[in-house]
A = this chain, B = another copy of it.
Amino acid sequence: MITTGIRLGELVDRFGGQLIGNSETQVIGIAPLNDADERHATFLSNAKLRHQAESTRASALILSEADHQQVGSGYSGARILTAEPYVYFALVAQYFAALKHIPAPKGIHPQASVSPHAVVATSASIAAHVVIEAEAVIGENVVIGAGSVIGRGVTIADESFLHANVTIYDYCLIGKRCVIHSGAVIGADGFGFANQRGAWLKIPQTGRVLIGDDVEIGANTSIDRGALSDTVIEEGVKLDNQIQIGHNCHIGAHTAMAGCVGVAGSAKIGKYCTFGGAAMVLGHLTIADRVHISSGSMVTRSILEAGQYTGFYPLAKNADWEKTAAIVRNLSGMREKIRQLEKTIKSLTEK
């Protein structure tokens, strides 16, 4: 059997960092502090877990210089010092995951349905029951999972990976090295209707979705195509599951959104933003770079200044909530009482 271990010396050759300990020690994987055993490397990226580092059984501990000073001799294995232990962990984890990776078989599965007018790189992997429509272009080493449907004129650039049961509507563009998870729908019609005496008249959605390189899109997430112009997701954006992106949105590079976020149409969101789970953004707003929206918060106005913004009702025991909610409903009454008190006191003090 081929060992999948790596010498610590080779680890630091690959990923940098300062090794303190035996460079010949081998590890076969990376595990959390409390799960690791002597076959593993582990990492300390949160100072609150220093006590776990003292007792971990791992053979190698990735940590910062500052934490290194604090973690005592309770831990006797090797150490790898690095400025960014969590990034280092990600790199090592990617290394081990790649070792175990079973590559998808190249070529087109006989039960796929690929238009003769589509162009599919010979290095691409097209699974069973995939549909690829005419004029689609599938790049080198692209993987398209079973049951996925690629519309007419879609381009999927090199190295992108679509899991099973993904749907890409006509003419959308997917960049390089993207990952799209099952159930994601890219390019469905935006929600555009004109109201004519109560009934809704459909506004055709003729724009596209343009997705940059290195974007990840979670399971059951939807990104609508633009109405007249395009919806744009810039490079490096990471979208979790169950997210809704409305038509004509523009999301800046490296912005990340956690699960259940919703962004209404034509919102323009900057770069390097983060959105906590279930945060919501109304339409036609502008959000600057490096804005951070807390979970469960509703953005109703443009935000032009970087920073963290929050707006959700605090949780309480139900009985307490009922009391405070009743007061919230009548806050203007409370304000009025305070005004009355102020008046009365003013008249008292002026006596």
- Write the residues of chain A forming the contact surface with B, with a CB cutoff of 8 angstroms: 30-32, 35, 84, 86-87, 89-91, 93-94, 96-97, 100, 102, 109, 111, 113, 127-129, 131, 145-147, 149, 151-152, 163-165, 167, 169, 179, 181-183, 185, 188-189, 191, 193-196, 198-204, 206, 214, 216, 218-222, 224, 228-229, 236, 238, 240-242, 244, 246, 254, 256, 258-260, 262, 264, 272, 276-278, 280, 282, 294-301, 307-318, 320-329, 331-332, 334-335, 337-338, 341-342, 344-345, 348-349
CA A214 to CA B200, docked complex, whole Å: 9
- The CA-CA distance from A149 to B341 in the complex, in Å, is 68
Q: Which residue of B lies closest to A216 (CB)?
A: B202
- Give Cα A316–Cα B298 distance, bound, in whole angstroms: 10
Cα A333 to Cα B257 in complex, Å, equals 33
Question: Would A90 and B299 be within 8 Å (CB), given that A163-B167, A169-B163 are in contact?
Answer: no
**A296's closest neighbor in chain B, by CB?**
B298
Q: How far is the CA of A204 from the CA of B92 in the complex (A)?
A: 10
From the candidates B30, B220, B315, B323, name the one contacting A298 in the complex (CB within 8 A): B315
28 A–B pairs (Cβ distance < 8 Å), ordered by A: A86-B194, A90-B201, A93-B204, A94-B203, A94-B204, A113-B128, A128-B131, A131-B146, A147-B165, A149-B182, A151-B164, A191-B218, A199-B254, A202-B216, A219-B222, A258-B264, A278-B280, A278-B298, A280-B295, A294-B318, A298-B313, A301-B315, A311-B313, A313-B313, A320-B332, A344-B345, A345-B348, A348-B349
A32-B229, A185-B183 given; A113·B129 CB < 8 A: yes
The smallest beta-carbon distance between A112 and chain B, in angstroms, is 9
- A294, chain B: closest CB distance, angstroms: 6
Q: How far is the CB of A268 from chain B (nearest CB, A)?
A: 14
Which residue from B100, B188, B298, B308 sits with its C-beta under 8 Å from A182? B188
Residue pair B301, A311 in contact (C-beta under 8 Å): no
Complex contacts, A246 vs chain B, CB 8 Å? 259
Specify which of B163, B260, B296, B298 is in contact with A244 (CB 8 Å cutoff).
Answer: B260
A123–B198 alpha-carbon span in the complex (Å) = 32
A272: chain B residues within 8 A (beta carbon): 198
Separation of A307 and B155 alpha carbons in the complex (Å): 46
